[in-house]
């Protein structure tokens, strides 16, 4: 989740943040490059420092962190990258900036489907890609992802760009389940059911459902919670909708990850591993999940009440790494069917 800024503002903020980067690497510290806003994660890092005595330095940006680390090379001060979505994680690994974490704590805490088989990354929390359904016009309680292409929903679905990383991950998961031919057919059916050209973000899909432009909107679980609890101007959009946890036929609800990577040239590698392991503690899992309205990856950690109110999450068993493998093919299919046209 991120608040989009104009490109010039993002570049200026990154320049200010990164100008201080060489000074970050100090003993007794750990340096985090984060795609999460500092204000969202600072309470978490403050708790880590209180528990361990290790100071956390944070550089936040909405884009470009993997490219920055790659350009810094062996002199990069980055120890850990905190990121959202398997798309961002996959791009960081492809840039060659990670190293294996190698931690028994990680391996024993995080289910294998939420870890990289080569140990380059691990998930620390989950979000689900779900449906914001009109309370007034949609009475159906259970919906499958496959069903979104059913002509009964013609002109009734709103969604952001098919090339956005959130939808790319969902489409890649569909591809992993059903293969290329059936995914292409499904994307054509989904496109035929759209009420309007894909646009805006997940919040705007809720807005358009509330306005009667569509009956179903596709969005991430945390956006609905943020609108309901943290954004009075958008609370009416949430109140006009309810969250449906869709599933794949014979499977579960598609989930994605917020994750961490240990950076290849980490000057404080041991402290970086300590931070990653600490992020998987019950205390940290609850803090992180509550701050971002996400699902903990650690079994037994209490789920935020708003998120729990959606119903029991039956997460799809598809390994997140398999979603990463299908991202490029899913993107090509989106273009092939003219999904965003």
Indicate the annotated binding residues for Fe cation: 222-223
**Do residues 262 and 276 make contact, with C-beta atoms less than 8 angstroms apart?**
yes
For residue 5, report the phi and psi dihedrals to the nearest 5 degrees.
-115, 160
Residues 117 and 183: their CA atoms lie apart, in Å, by 26
CB-CB contact of 214 with 158 (8 Å): yes
How far is Cα 187 from Cα 274, in angstroms, rounded to an integer? 43
Spell out where 135-188 has E strands. Answer: 157-158
**Residue whose structure tokens are 């940006």:** 61
Burial class of 250 by CB neighbour count within 10 A (0 to 12, 13 to 18, 19+):
exposed
Torsion sign, CA atoms 66, 68, 70, 72: negative
**Contact, 161 vs 167, CB < 8 A?**
yes
Give the burial class of 333: count Cβ atoms within 10 A of its Cβ; 0-12 exposed, 13-18 middle, 19 or more buried.
buried
Q: DSSP string of 129-169? A: EEEEEETTT------BSGGGGSGGGTT-EE---TTSHHHHH
Task: Show binding-site residues.
Answer: 222-223
At residue 58, what are phi and psi to the nearest 5 degrees?
A: -120, 130
> Please, how many CA atoms are within 13 Å of residue 145, restricted to the half-sphere of its CB?
28
């Amino acid at each position: 989740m991120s608040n989009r800024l104009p490109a010039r503002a993002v570049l200026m903020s990154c320049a200010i943040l990164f100008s201080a980067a060489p000074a970050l690497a100090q003993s007794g510290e750990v340096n985090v490059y984060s795609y999460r806003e500092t204000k969202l994660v600072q309470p978490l890092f403050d708790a880590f420092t209180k528990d361990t005595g290790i100071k956390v330095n944070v550089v936040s940006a909405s884009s470009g962190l993997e490219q920055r680390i790659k350009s810094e090379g062996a002199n990069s001060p980055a120890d850990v990258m905190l990121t959202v979505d398997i798309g961002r994680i996959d791009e960081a690994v492809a840039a060659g900036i990670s190293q294996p974490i190698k931690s028994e704590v990680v391996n024993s805490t995080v289910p294998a489907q939420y870890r990289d088989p080569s140990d380059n990354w691990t998930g620390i929390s989950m979000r689900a890609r779900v449906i914001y359904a009109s309370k007034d016009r949609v009475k159906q309680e259970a919906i499958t992802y496959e069903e979104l292409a059913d002509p009964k929903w013609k002109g009734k679905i709103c969604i952001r760009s098919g090339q956005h990383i959130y939808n790319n991950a969902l489409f890649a998961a569909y591809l992993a389940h059903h293969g290329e031919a059936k995914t292409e057919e499904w994307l054509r059916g989904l496109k035929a059911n759209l009420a309007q050209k894909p646009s805006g973000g997940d919040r705007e899909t809720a807005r358009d459902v509330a306005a009667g432009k569509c009956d179903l909107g596709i969005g991430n679980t945390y956006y609905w919670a943020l609108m309901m609890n943290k954004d009075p101007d958008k609370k009416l959009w949430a109140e006009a909708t309810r969250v449906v946890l869709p599933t794949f036929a014979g499977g579960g609800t598609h989930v994605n990850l917020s994750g961490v990577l240990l950076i290849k040239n980490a000057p404080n590698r041991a402290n970086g591993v300590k931070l990653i392991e600490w992020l998987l503690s019950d205390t940290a899992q609850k803090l992180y999940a509550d701050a971002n309205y996400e699902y903990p990856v650690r079994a037994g950690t209490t789920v935020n009440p708003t998120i729990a109110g959606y119903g029991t999450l039956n997460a799809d068993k598809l390994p997140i790494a398999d979603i990463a493998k299908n991202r490029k093919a899913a993107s090509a299919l989106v273009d092939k069917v003219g999904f965003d046209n």
